Structure 1
Amino acid sequence: MPRFLSKTLAAGLLLVSGQALSAPPSAYRQEVVVAASPFQGVHGLALDGKGHLLASNLLGQSVHSIDLSTGAVSTLVGPPMGGADDVALGPDGSIYWTGFFSGQLMRRTPDGKTRVIAKDLPGLNSLAFRRDGRLYVTQLGRGDDVLWEVDPNGKKPRRQILSGHGFLNGFEFGPDDKLYGPLLLKRQIARINVDTGAIETVAEGFGMPVATNFDSSRENLYVVDSVLGQLVRVRVATGEKTVVAQLPTGLDNLTVGPDDQVYVSNMVDNDIRVVNPADGSIRPLVEARLSVPSGIAVAPDDADENVYVADVYAFRRVGGRDGKIAQTTRVLSSRVAFPMHVSVGAKHVVLSTSYLGDLSGVQVLDRASGEVLRTIPNKNGLQGAIELPDGTLLLAEGTTGRLVRVDASESAGTTVLTEGLEGPVGLVADTEAKEPGVYVTEVRSGRVTRVRLSDGARSTVAKGLKAPEGIARHPDGGLIVAEVGGKRLVRIDPATGRSTVIASGLRIGLPESKGFPPGYIPTGVAVGGSGTIYLSSDVESALYRFVPASAPVTEKAQP
């Protein structure tokens, strides 16, 4: 069960911004749609030799330990220090991990002391120790493509080994003291002499190889192919490839035990599976149903209240009443690019992201088929994006503080509607009004602002909120807002600005991370035609609903 259980939430008189406010229209009972999971997309893995598997959790900013006998997950390092893309054990038992977004290399000694041993390395990704205790790390994916040698104690300057080699990812040293790993851009496995910089091809013809590890014989490499969803065994001497197991796409990393059992992480499914290479059998170690649920939406014409979930590593459609996942579009193996926000109209779905520089922007999908119709780049810390009735897109640029229009035409001309907003995150349209506008949450100023579409004029609807993010319109005209800094869900009367609390003590709001716009991973809010409110939890990777207490109990959601 999640940490906060289903319950009836009573309304009462509340003080917001110094005002005594009236009770909300009704009480709500809180229910689980999709239950919590321990990670926010799991990545690097390492065995500690003591019956535990270490797992890195980049967006959740944590390093975890998993009991191999029970699958129980505990947190070794939490936010914000634990933002790890890959993890490894040093010769003295220290744990090292790479901060892809923070650009920091971290170390936790056996006595529990954590410190930064290298910094200013954006895109810091993979790491491995050579037998002599020398440590090597890579940068990739954020404008850099470099292999470094780094002092494990953080005292000596780092030394560049290679650059521009093709995005070297999860690697390991072989018995010959050469480094073996995938070159993503070349779709091959390479052998690198870190003393001379010489590169040789070991095997090629992969979809997207992302990580390698040796088996106990040290004669074979296991490779995970993210796009094809395959675990492949490569005979190092000949380059011969054998598919050992077919898994879902979105594989991220692996580690091999002394018994040659292969532990594989999948960032899309947010899970860890164990493969027995002897027979290709697969068993789950840690399971999940969502990865990083952020922006959510419910189509106003959908009586079944399907919830569209921007799950960062996937785009999903979840039954709001039964919690069943009816559709999953996976990143890397599709054209969908790391969605963080979603809005839904009559014909289109609009996804937006600021997750990775070159992939940041907006995508417009056909709602019926899921086909990507338009992709519009935007590197200005994009948060919310909505489509207006005339096909114009309206984008919230979290970094610049602007709302911009993008024409419906193929030329995609852009104009600034307004600027000077303080961390715009969530958007919801108000196009039926006499003077059509849009409501926007400002995470930095604590305001909900209305922007007039005709000329960009702004008016404050509510202030004094703590980090408001997700926003949606209720059928009664009220605004439902995720007040992340206050860990609560509030209803705002747009005419008076008065607020009432629907629920408090919520598990929402991961700490912001370097390299992301204000709001980081947004907390999403959506409202169905029945008045049921849906909320995503980034902290728990869960989806919840708040049902009017007078409504009949619906089907039991998925565990």
Structure 2
Amino acid sequence: MRKRSIMVVAGLVAALTTGGAGAATAGPRASVGAAAPASCGQQTRVEVFREGGVPLLDWRENLEFDGRGTLWVSHLTKNRVEGYAPDGTSRGGFPLAGPGGIRRGPDGMMYVNYGVSPLTPRGGVARFDPAAAEPRPRTVVDGISGVNGLAVDSAGNLYLSRELAHGILKFRPDGTRDEAWTKAADVFGSNGLDIVGDQLYVSVLTDPTSRIVRVPLRDPGRYTTVARLSPNPLRGKFLDDLTHFRGDLVVAGFRSGELIRVDPATGRSCVLATGLRMPTSVRAAHGFGGLDPEHHLFVVEASGRIVKVTVD
């Protein structure tokens, strides 16, 4: 798998021994760069929404809510996109080779990367209708490799992260590549992507200081570092996907087994939840069984689990 660089493989043993799900304890926010993030001081509850199988062999890579009551999950090792109802029962799905980042577009369609696994070297982006009785993926972009995360802006432009390359890929709604934008967004090792307003936030997997970067959509060459979450480079968190939550960012620490909350204005951070098992993606629960996106986050893991995190 492609999280799956030498750097990540070295951290798998530590990630596997992180332990079970737990809750963050009380404590102040810590200043990034001065000390490791402290606890956020909020009570969190972590519940298993769906059990996993054999860690790494049952790798769930990404997730997104369609706003219509279904949670869609990219199951990397089973080469399948899965749908789940709020009660945890299956709502079907479809096969897709090496699915990765998955996001809802402004047109109500769902977009999902494929070819994320090195066993499926030809990758791209597919689109499907989540309201269809039997959703079927249709290719939007094809013939690319080394991609992972995905974001879609309000105009329908696609942004794809690349863990082992320079530049965040941008594709226009018609599937053509915006070469100038990609060249300007010269971030190496990008992983998670999330758009807030006119800013693209990026987690950098390959940076041992666990960096988060902000890229202006209108001027990508002026990207800046928001935070570095690992003052000790020998204890890198291997940041994976991220999302926005209560005006802040929440990022998954693949190696550390944490959800880390980051203030995008100041870079200050704190640990929201601990004890996760190689978390790969996190999203707020929008339009899902009456859950409040201001209080409920869902996480998928390389352990295969899907967990619900409730923040008081």
Report the residue type matching 1:368 in the other structure. Answer: A
1:19 positional shift: 4.5
CA positional deviation for 1:526: 0.9
Task: Tell me what 1:298 maps to.
Answer: 65
Describe the shift of the 1:498–1:373 C-alpha distance in structure 2 as closer, same or farther (beyond 3 A): same
Aligned to 2:6: none
CA spacing shift, 1:421–1:378, aligned 2, 3 Å: farther
Q: How does 1:274-285 map to 2 (within 5 A)?
A: none
Where do residues 102-141 of structure 1 align in structure 2 (5 Å cutoff)?
none
**2:305 is matched by which residue type in structure 1?**
A
Write out aligned runs for 1:386-405 (5 A). 386-405=151-170
Structure 2 CA distance for partners of 1:399 and 1:4, relative to 1, 3 Å = closer
Please identify the structure whose Cα radius of gyration is greater: 1
Q: How far apart, CA to CA, are the structure 1 residues paired with 2:203 and 2:254?
A: 11
Determine helix, strand or coil for the equivalent of 2:131. coil
Distance 2:192 2:42 in 1: 25
Does the 8 Å contact 1:365/1:374 carry over to 2?
no
Q: Which amino acid aligns with 1:442?
A: V
Structure 1 pair 378–7 and aligned structure 2 pair: CA distance change class (3 A): same
For residues 113 and 200 of structure 2, the distance between their equivalents in structure 1, rounded to whole angstroms, comes to 17
Asked if 2 retains the 8 angstrom alpha-carbon contact of 1:13 and 1:20, the reply is no
In 2, Cα distance between the equivalents of 1:25 and 1:309?
Answer: 30
Aligned to 2:212: 448
Residue 524 (structure 1) shift: 1.1
Residues 450 and 39 of structure 1, relative CA distance in 2, 3 Å threshold: closer
- For 1:528, the equivalent position in structure 2 comes to 285
In the alignment, structure 1 residue 427 sits paired with structure 2 residue 154: no
- State the 1:37 CA deviation: 1.3
Cα offset, 1:357, TM superposition: 4.6
Secondary structure of 1:368's aligned partner: coil
- Which of 93, 98, 105 aligns to 1:345? It is 105
Unaligned 5+ runs, structure 2: 1-17, 231-236, 287-291
In the alignment, is residue 468 of structure 1 matched against residue 210 of structure 2?
no
Q: Distance in 2 between matches of 1:323 and 1:386?
A: 26
* Structure 1: distance between partners of 2:143 and 2:19: 37
- What is the DSSP-based 3-state SS (H/G/I as helix, E as strand, rest coil) of the residue aligned with 2:261? strand
1:528 is aligned with what amino acid? Answer: A
> Cα–Cα, structure 1 residues 337 and 329, in superposed 2: closer, same or farther, change >3 Å?
same
**C-alpha distance in structure 2 between counterparts of 1:361 and 1:341, whole Å:** 11
> How big is the shift at 1:396?
1.4
Instruction: Give the superposed CA RMSD.
Output: 2.5
Amino acid at match of 1:316: E
Partner residue in 2 for 1:372: 137
What one-letter code is carried by the residue in structure 1 that aligns with 2:224?
Answer: S
Map of 1:13 onto structure 2 = 28
Partner of residue 182, structure 1: none
| Match in the other structure for 2:12 | none
- Three-state SS of the structure 1 residue aligned to 2:251 is strand
Structure 1 equivalent of residue 274 of structure 2:
504
TM-score normalised by length of structure 1: 0.45
Q: 1:486 to 1:17 in 2, by over 3 A?
A: farther
Native 8 Å contact 2:260 2:273 kept in 1: yes
How far residue 449 of structure 1 moved from its aligned partner, in angstroms, is 0.6
User: Per-residue deviation at 1:294?
Assistant: 0.7
Three-state SS of the structure 1 residue aligned to 2:252 is: strand
SS at 1:545's partner residue?
Answer: strand
Q: 1:484 to 1:7 in 2, by over 3 A?
A: closer
Give the % identical residues. 21
Counterpart for residue 151 of structure 1: none
Higher helix share: 2
Secondary structure of residue in 2 paired with 1:374:
strand
- Which residue in the other structure is 1:314 paired with? 80
Aligned-partner residue type, residue 453 of structure 1: L
CA change 1:6–1:384 in 2 (3 A) is closer
Residue of structure 2 equivalent to 1:541: 304
2: distance between equivalents of 1:308 and 1:481?
19
Q: Which amino acid aligns with 2:282?
A: V
Deviation at 1:409, TM superposition (A): 1.9
Query: Cα distance 1:378–1:398, how it changes in 2: closer, same or farther (>3 A)?
Result: farther
How many residues end up aligned between the 2 structures?
Answer: 269
CA distance in 1, matches of 2:266, 2:74: 32
* Aligned match of 1:323: 88
CA contact (8 A) 1:444 1:467 kept: yes
Read off the aligned partner of 1:479 and give its amino acid letter. Answer: L
Specify the SS of the correspondent of 1:382. Answer: coil
SS at match of 1:524: strand
CA offsets 1:164-188 (integer angstroms, 9 cap, x no match)? xxxxxxxxxxxxxxxxxxxxxxxxx
Give the drift of 1:504: 1.9
- Where structure 1 has 5 or more consecutive residues not aligned to the other structure, the ranges are 41-59, 61-290, 331-335, 510-522, 550-559
Q: 1:7 to 1:504 in 2, by over 3 A?
A: closer
Secondary structure of the structure 1 residue equivalent to 2:98: coil
The alpha carbon displacement at 1:414 in A equals 3.4
Question: Which amino acid in the other structure matches residue 469 of structure 1?
Answer: D
